[in-house]
Amino acid sequence: MNACIRAIVVASESAGHTVIGFEHGFHGLLASNWRKLDTKKVHNIIQRGGTILRSARCEEFKQDTAAKNAASHLNDLAIDAILILGGDGSFRGAQHLSQFWDGQVIGLPATIDNDIFGTDTTIGYYTAIQTAMDSIDKVRDTADAF
């Protein structure tokens, strides 16, 4: 996800756009807990796993009042587009938000489950497979030592 965040920031900044990131996903959006992201802040995150913004499930976002509050926060910040990286739960949240907000809601499939309809692979899927394979190889190497 960090590589994707970095790519978004670099491309957006070169096009003259400002990028902010919400901490802990929808939780940060609801609490208006955000930070400005620029190329200086993301230049060395590509090799780090996970996401610098941290992620979390947000059951509260299933409620209309939460989606309306999120839409209000986006309007207050004069945001005209939001990119949501995540899996099926994040995409359900994105769809819910789109019912109450007129800005562009863009979903980027990022899940180790690779279960997003309409895409062959998702961000994180091959990394998860490679990590599992590396772990299996290490266990096999250890087992062969006995």
3-state secondary structure 16-62: CCCEEEECCCHHHHHHCCEEEECHHHHCCCCCCCCCCCCCCCCHHHH
Q: The CATH number of the domain where 12 resides is what? A: 3.40.50.450
- The residue segments making up the domain with residue 25 are 2-144
**Mean pLDDT lowest among 3-7, 36-40, 62-66:** 3-7
Q: Looking at the annotation, which residues are catalytic?
A: 113
Tell me the pLDDT band of 77, cut-offs 50, 70 and 90: very high
75/125: higher pLDDT: 75
Among 35, 92, 33, 29, smallest CA distance to 66 is for 29
Domains: count for the chain: 1
Percent of the chain with pLDDT over 70: 98
Supply the pTM of this predicted model. 0.80
pLDDT value at position 125? 66
Mean pLDDT, the chain, whole residue set: 89
Instruction: Tell me the average pLDDT across 6-13.
Output: 93
Per-residue confidence (pLDDT) for residue 33, from 0 to 100: 95
Q: How does pLDDT run across 123-135, given as a tens digit for each residue?
A: 766 677 777 787 8
Query: Cα dist. 109→3, 48, 86, 122 in Å?
Result: 13, 19, 5, 5
> pLDDT of 80-103, one tens digit each?
999 999 888 999 999 999 999 999
